[in-house]
Each structure stands twice: as C-alpha cells, then as structure tokens.
Structure 1
C-alpha cells in the first residue's frame, strides 16, 4: 500500500527541541502575565482562562491566581490545551514583531518541499496549538512554509500517545491509516500511531534508535516509497 500522506511531529522532528525550550517557552513565560492582564476581557482569551480554571479545579480563581496556574504549567511543560492556545497568541505577537523566527531543520525543509512536489499530502500533529504550528512554519527561518501543508492537528484531536487520536486524524485526512506515514522522535507516539494502523518512522537526530520503529537521523534518509 503506497504512502499518500505524511503526518509529522514538530518538536525534535522538524524542529530543534532547544528552539521550543530555549526560545518559545521563555518568551511565553516572560510575556504571559502582561498579555493576560491586557486581553483578559477579549472573548477568545477569556474562554481559555475559564478553561484553565476548570482544568485546574479552581473555577473561582482570580485573574492573578489563573496567571500563577498558567506559569506553573509552563514550568512543568504541561500539555494543557488552554495553555497551548494562550502561548500561541503570545507567540503570534512575537513573530509579527520579528522577535521570533521559527526553526525548521534544512533537511526537513528540503524533504517537505520535495514530497509536496511529488504529490504527497503533508500534515502536522503537535501538542502545540494549531496556531502555534502555523506560526513556526509560516514565520520560519526558511520563509513561509505553510503552503506545503494541507492540514494541522493538535491535542483537540486527542493525546498524542493514544491510538484513537491517530485513527481520528486518519479519518479527517480521508485516507486509510496504512497510506499515512507518521514521523516523530517519541517512541510512545510512534507506538500509538502504529496501533491505529499508520506507518511510522522515528527521528533520532543525535543518534540511537526508537525501539520497534525504523529510525533515521535526518529527513534526507526518509523514502516514503519504501516506508
């Protein structure tokens, strides 16, 4: 069954983990308090703040307490959908101001462009919000890469370590799971994707293997036709 679409993770796969932890997270943490205070009454922000309170089990939390909760989640790298949405809004301001440029490995850029030209559908699945995904590729060091992608998925499709999430994404893409190749640097994600029927390839950019899955160090080593 030939591969017709590629679903890729971002952090550690198309982009350096250090970019997320050394650039994006500190930027969001530094700007979050002022951003929340300035925009708390806007519907989109207010909805995420309410979701944060509910998720934290503190529905009556004050604005300042909600800020504390969010900062704690950033420090703990919690994959909370409301936090990811707020981070995406903050990063958007940073990208638009030219203070941030998205990091994408050159080998990933080359491969994505080649696969697009070959007619493969390209999709993203990351724990970061869809907005954040579009920003990292749209304001990347290599220019605007968003025209390469046909769709984006985040944790609103389900946790990345659960097979049901990948089945849901395959349904949204509209292809049999066996015609989709999933790329990630996390073995538990690859396991979940395989359990739902997707084909898999692991990225280990510093060497090593992701047990149970074909593992490469670069996108240049990936041949969808031979996956």
Structure 2
C-alpha cells in the first residue's frame, strides 16, 4: 500500500511517500522536511510534489493519505489538515488523521525503551503540548497543554526514562529523537486501520485551546 503522509503541527513542514507492507514496519520511499514556522502554506504542496517525484509516483497512485491532527497551533495545523482533506476529495482517496505526538512516540520507541516516555512540543504562549506513552509508544495520558513548570511537577506522578519532541529538553529527562512527526511514524500509527481498509473518521484537529476570535457583542449605544 502506498501512503502519502503530511504533518504541519509543529514548526516543521513534513511530507513523505511511504510503502506500508502487509506486515512489518512502514518504509519511507521519499520525504521532504523543512523548518518553517511561518511557511507551512508555502512549503507543503511543493514538498508533496517533490516527494512524489523522487519516489517515482503520481498523486493518483496513492492509496491513502495520513495527516497529523496535532496538537498544534491553529494556523499551521490547519494547513496540513486542509491540504490532506482537499487532496483526498480531489483524488477520491481516504484521509486518516492521527495524533502527531503519537507519531513521534512510535518512532522514538523503536529504540526499545525500558520505561515510559513523554513527547513535548511547542504550544507557544510560554506553554507546551505534552503526552505520556508506554515503552511501546502507546499513549497513556494526554495530550495536554500546560506551562513547562507544571509539566515537570506532573512528571513526578508519571515516571519516565526519556523525552522526545522539539521541547523535550524542558523535562530534564534524556532527550531522544525524533523532534517532530515523520512520515514513518505517522503511517505506523494508522497502520492497523490502513491494512484493515477501515473507513476513516472525521478529521478533528487537536487544538487544546479555545480560539482567540470571538463573536462580536451587541453594538454599544451612543448617546447624542
């Protein structure tokens, strides 16, 4: 099965073409990964097309699309999810959403950890997104959004041997890779449903915060 994997939940823009065999781990045929916190919209589709060209496939050859659903900041996260949804609609291809932290954890745990781990990414506003995982990369808690100091306090109740993600260092734990979701990790999270041919559920972004924009209130009365 040929899968297109996308993620824009972090400051990194990621696109890749991945082979998912009937059994075993996903194999990345081509990928494009660039740091660009404010260039998600500019970089994502060129990355998709470049990865397809390197892999020697056309977009119509893709059997499924997997996209990270966050947690992530509003604008960047929407770019990846909307692009995946638009491609799926245009190509008649199923689009599966997966938690971006799960993708980081699945790759990180390939190193065979001896205990729990946490994934920590930048939520801006002096906060981080984080989630806790067992040694196999399956989520136990989260994702949450909190100040780094609060996270460190919570880790006393969630003993861990390592941390991954772009903000992993705030935990004081040994840092392991990857820092951001990669194509192999994204597809690994969705592997079971992809192989089973399960219809994807609705794409739901993990913003974890209420939007800043609010409906305007009633107009103020101005006296003469």
What TM-score do the two structures reach when normalised by structure 1? 0.27
Q: Which has the higher strand share?
A: 2
Q: Which has the higher helix share?
A: 1
